[in-house]
Chains A and B, each alone.
Chain A
Amino acid sequence: MYPESMQESIKKVKKTRSERLKLVKSGKEIYSMMTEKEREVVLNKFHPDYQPDARRKIRIGPNKGEELTTEVADLLETYSRIDPKDFDLTKLDYETDVLVIGAGSAGFAAALLAEENGVDVLLVTKLRIGDSNSMMAQGGIQAAVRPDDSPVLHYLDAIGGGHFENKPELVRALTAEAPDGINWLKDHGVMFDRNPDGTMITKSGGGTSRLRMHSARDYTGAAICATLRDEVLNRPDHIKILEHQPVVELIKDNTGKVSGAVLYHLENREYFTIKAKATIITTGGFGRLHIRNYETTNHYGATADGLVISYRVGAKLMYMDSVQYHPTGAIYPQQIIGFLCTEKLRALGAQPLNKKAEPFVNPLEPRDVESSAFIRECLERKKGIKTPSGHIGVWLDTPLIDQINGKGAIQASVPAMVRQFARFDVDMIAEPILVYPTLHYQNGGVEINAQCETNIPGLFVAGEASGGLHGRNRLMGNSQLDLIIFGRRAGKFAADYAKGAKIGKLTLDHIYEYEKDVKKLGIDRSKISPMVLPDYIPDAVKAKQLTTKYHGTLR
């Protein structure tokens, strides 16, 4: 139920619905697509990335002098959580061949393939294993399987979607191995949606030229991630797991190779050290940095830790100047702010409307353009709808979906979302939902090659933490695919590497080196990263926590 203050606007939406339905049925567009010029204007003026202070030059480290997203640059120009002199690296707590950091789908795929290639794996993660962005994907995973599709078309779609800035060797690996990736997941028992005759049910997604999106109802990410987790747990002889213990720094050896990591136990607050012949970072994205104060779709632990620790050992980042905002994040009810309302809704006919129930943008513009148009409607034209908690957004008229596609269409296509809104008394089948752009995906990351290697020996990266594959714009369904294809690759190549690796004397001196540069910038000692967890404790409470010391965002 919507509060009184929004009822008037809802009435207007209801009133104009039949007219808008007629328009759709007559085959006309509800609102015309913008011209290239119009897109440019709205992007420049309203897209969060294009705001004057959205980016700034990073002053230290391997990307020195490059423009990065401001919050990312701020996060990188910081001190470490630890002081190297407190650690005796001749006495280590754990030793392994391959260390995998982060237990989402990329981490699981990496751990499995490393194990299959004959090495011991230690998988460490910040929260419970599987608590990750991987678990949350509803939409789907791409792979060119249909007879009218091919890896070649998939390649074109991915590289065009990324404005031709993607690293070609990565796109090649992604698209050529996609069908095998799906097959591999199926063999592990992922229940992809299939027709009675066995053909895969496929849908379109933004930027695809064929029906290429595979799904497992609207729990695609969960189906994949939980299956892989189950399989990882089936191999206890060679895959050891440590939960609730984020990595806060990488260890190097005297020849400059990454050779392990330092863990921080979130419950008993001890630090532990690991020696590893190869290290794979699969720590995911950065939604919880709340860039430009945006709400986010990401899980609690998405704080870009992998970027920070990689950067400190000298790994180069790529495309860390672009952020993916998803146009339709929920802003009401309060309890699900930021919650992702999949693109599928608009593909099925849901229309964005302003306060007066007027259409103001074509529902299917590219994500960045659609988001910018929403922001313009709310901020410049002041035609947004305000919620009791002070958020402003636009309507997404979901009831139209059933009217266009037949009764039951919403329930059948997005049951998880219907359930989510219903929990807080909003019936999205009968009433529109209120949305605003939300921080969704880290387009760039640590630069890798097709073997998932970085410029630092011994350090491999896969999944959302990596950069290069998507250029500055990822297409829906290519990320879940990324986890599988590059997760597996990272596992295999790291295992191969580990077999021949000789580790020298361990050191954390690179932290001192890095901190010297931070200090030269005059940055305050209290600025610490990785963040590990976001800080949601109100200032009023903190003011009364008289004897509590916060170290960064953690106590």
Chain B
Amino acid sequence: MADKVKMVKIVVLGEGFDVPEDLTIINALEYAGFQLTHGVGCREGFCGACGTIYREKGDYKLQAGLACQTVVSDGMYLAQIPFVPAEKPVYDITKLKPDITAIKDNYPIVFRCVACNTCSKVCPQDLEVMDYVQALIRGDIERAADLSFDCIRCGLCALRCPAEIVQYNSAMLARRLCGRYLLPESKDLTSRVKEIAEEKYDKELDELVKMNLKKLKERYYSRDIKLFDH
């Protein structure tokens, strides 16, 4: 079956464990016998549950990464996976304006950014975190929303920020403001919602619901297919 794999030693809570060299931190912890009940979610780099801190052999630097996306190395020193209990203010999105006032009122902390760029360096999604924080400070909601789009809310930026900013939560507000207020209106969507409210399709749908199988199949197989933009 499988070719023989090389083993490396990882250190967890001071104890060494031999694990195959190609495992991610999450897989390696499990291989070593730890059953994970937190600090793990999608296991595919989408949910941000697994932000973690580690140190590599012979290095003084504390590194941060996603435990489901980081491969172990020999002598890697792993900590227990932290959970970032970041603050999230409560607001009513329908009452906010998509400009700097929303940021000032809800995330005044972002104005304390000292532009050290630690957040961008630590971000496992390689986002320009500092740049989106700076955009928030300028009230440029659209730019902050755009730059932060791929944020998976792992919290590693907030964990390392000397100014104690909760970058990812403030960016979430920016994206919500942008999605609700700043993107141009889709007229098609507005008019389709209206048509449906006016029950334009109800009769035909009711017919389909009651239609016998034979007729329904006929309708299905004879429907025209248009998959190209004009």
- By a beta-carbon cutoff of 8 Å, the part of chain A in contact with chain B is 5, 127-128, 130-132, 135-136, 144-148, 150-153, 155-157, 159-160, 164, 168-169, 171-172, 175-177, 179-180, 182-183, 186-192, 194, 196-200, 204, 208-211, 216-217, 219, 221-223, 226-227, 230-231, 233-236, 244, 266-267, 297, 299-301, 333-336, 338-340, 388-390, 415-416, 419-420, 423-424, 533, 535-538, 541-542, 545, 554-555
Which 7 A-B residue pairs are closest in the complex by CB-CB distance?
A: A189-B176, A131-B41, A198-B184, A390-B2, A541-B33, A160-B220, A189-B179
- Pair A334/B30 contact, Cβ less than 8 Å: no
- Pair B187/A135 contact, Cβ less than 8 Å: no
B49 within 8 A of A: yes
A to B CB contacts below 8 Å, 11 in the list: A151-B201, A168-B209, A198-B185, A199-B188, A217-B150, A230-B176, A234-B91, A234-B93, A299-B42, A300-B42, A388-B3
- Pair B176/A533 contact, Cβ less than 8 Å: no
For A135, the closest partner residue in chain B by CB is B47
- Pair B71/A335 contact, Cβ less than 8 Å: yes
Contacts of A537 in B (CB 8 A): 30, 33-35
- Pair B22/A234 contact, Cβ less than 8 Å: no
- Pair B47/A136 contact, Cβ less than 8 Å: yes
Of the candidate stretches B108-116, B132-140, B156-164, B211-219, the one touching chain A is B211-219
For B46, the closest partner residue in chain A by CB is A136
- Pair B187/A198 contact, Cβ less than 8 Å: yes
Q: How many angstroms between the C-alpha atoms of A128 and B85 in the bound complex? A: 11
- Pair A200/B149 contact, Cβ less than 8 Å: no
- Pair A200/B186 contact, Cβ less than 8 Å: yes
- Pair A197/B184 contact, Cβ less than 8 Å: yes
- Pair A226/B41 contact, Cβ less than 8 Å: no
- Pair A415/B150 contact, Cβ less than 8 Å: yes
Contacts of A217 in B (CB 8 A): 149-150
- Pair B205/A176 contact, Cβ less than 8 Å: yes
Nearest chain A CB to B167 CB, angstrom units: 14
- Pair A227/B179 contact, Cβ less than 8 Å: yes
Q: How many angstroms between the C-alpha atoms of A394 and B73 in the bound complex? A: 29
Contacts of A159 in B (CB 8 A): 208, 216, 220
Number of B residues with CB within 8 Å of any CB on chain A: 82
Q: How many angstroms between the C-alpha atoms of A160 and B88 in the bound complex? A: 44
Known: A155-B205, A191-B145. A211 touches B229 (CB 8 A): yes
- Pair A127/B40 contact, Cβ less than 8 Å: yes
Of the candidate stretches B8-16, B54-62, B189-197, the one touching chain A is B189-197
Contacts of B183 in A (CB 8 A): 191-192, 194, 198
B224 within 8 A of A: yes
For B92, the closest partner residue in chain A by CB is A234
Known: A191-B178, A230-B173. 6 other contacts (CB 8 A): A151-B205, A175-B205, A188-B179, A223-B175, A266-B38, A297-B44
Known: A147-B188, A152-B208, A199-B186. A388 touches B90 (CB 8 A): no
Q: How many angstroms between the C-alpha atoms of A152 and B209 in the bound complex? A: 10
Nearest chain B CB to A54 CB, angstrom units: 24
- Pair A189/B37 contact, Cβ less than 8 Å: no
Task: Name, among A128, A175, A300, A415, the residue most crowded by chain B CB atoms within 10 Å (CB to CB).
Answer: A300
- Pair A227/B69 contact, Cβ less than 8 Å: no
Contacts of A555 in B (CB 8 A): 35
- By a beta-carbon cutoff of 8 Å, the part of chain B in contact with chain A is 1-3, 5, 22-24, 27, 30-38, 40-47, 49, 69, 71, 83, 88, 90-93, 125-126, 145, 149-150, 152-153, 172-173, 175-180, 183-190, 192-193, 196-197, 201-202, 204-206, 208-210, 213, 216-217, 219-221, 223-229
Nearest chain B CB to A216 CB, angstrom units: 8
- Pair B69/A423 contact, Cβ less than 8 Å: yes
Contacts of A301 in B (CB 8 A): 41
Contacts of A211 in B (CB 8 A): 226-229
Contacts of A541 in B (CB 8 A): 31-33
Known: A156-B219, A533-B37. A227 touches B47 (CB 8 A): no
Contacts of B1 in A (CB 8 A): 390
For A217, the closest partner residue in chain B by CB is B149
Q: How many angstroms between the C-alpha atoms of A145 and B186 in the bound complex? A: 9
Contacts of A210 in B (CB 8 A): 225-227
- Pair A130/B179 contact, Cβ less than 8 Å: no
- Pair A191/B149 contact, Cβ less than 8 Å: yes
- Pair B88/A388 contact, Cβ less than 8 Å: no
Contacts of A236 in B (CB 8 A): 90
Known: A136-B44, A196-B184, A234-B92. A156 touches B223 (CB 8 A): yes
Contacts of A148 in B (CB 8 A): 226
Interchain CB contact (< 8 A) of A267 among B38, B71, B216: B38
Q: How many angstroms between the C-alpha atoms of A114 and B186 in the bound complex? A: 28
- Pair B150/A131 contact, Cβ less than 8 Å: no
- Pair A545/B33 contact, Cβ less than 8 Å: yes
Interchain CB contact (< 8 A) of B42 among A136, A244, A333: A136
- Pair A191/B125 contact, Cβ less than 8 Å: no
- Pair B223/A226 contact, Cβ less than 8 Å: no
Q: How many angstroms between the C-alpha atoms of A527 and B126 in the bound complex? A: 45
Q: How many angstroms between the C-alpha atoms of A169 and B206 in the bound complex? A: 9
Nearest chain A CB to B68 CB, angstrom units: 8
Contacts of B224 in A (CB 8 A): 209
Q: How many angstroms between the C-alpha atoms of A187 and B93 in the bound complex? A: 9
- Pair B175/A191 contact, Cβ less than 8 Å: yes
Contacts of B125 in A (CB 8 A): 419
Contacts of B201 in A (CB 8 A): 150-152, 176
Nearest chain B CB to A233 CB, angstrom units: 5
Known: A155-B208, A196-B184, A222-B152. A164 touches B172 (CB 8 A): no
Q: How many angstroms between the C-alpha atoms of A351 and B5 in the bound complex? A: 31
Interchain CB contact (< 8 A) of B189 among A127, A150, A186, A420: A186
Q: How many angstroms between the C-alpha atoms of A209 and B44 in the bound complex? A: 31
Interchain CB contact (< 8 A) of A200 among B5, B189, B226: B189
Nearest chain A CB to B26 CB, angstrom units: 9
Interchain CB contact (< 8 A) of B41 among A127, A151, A188: A127
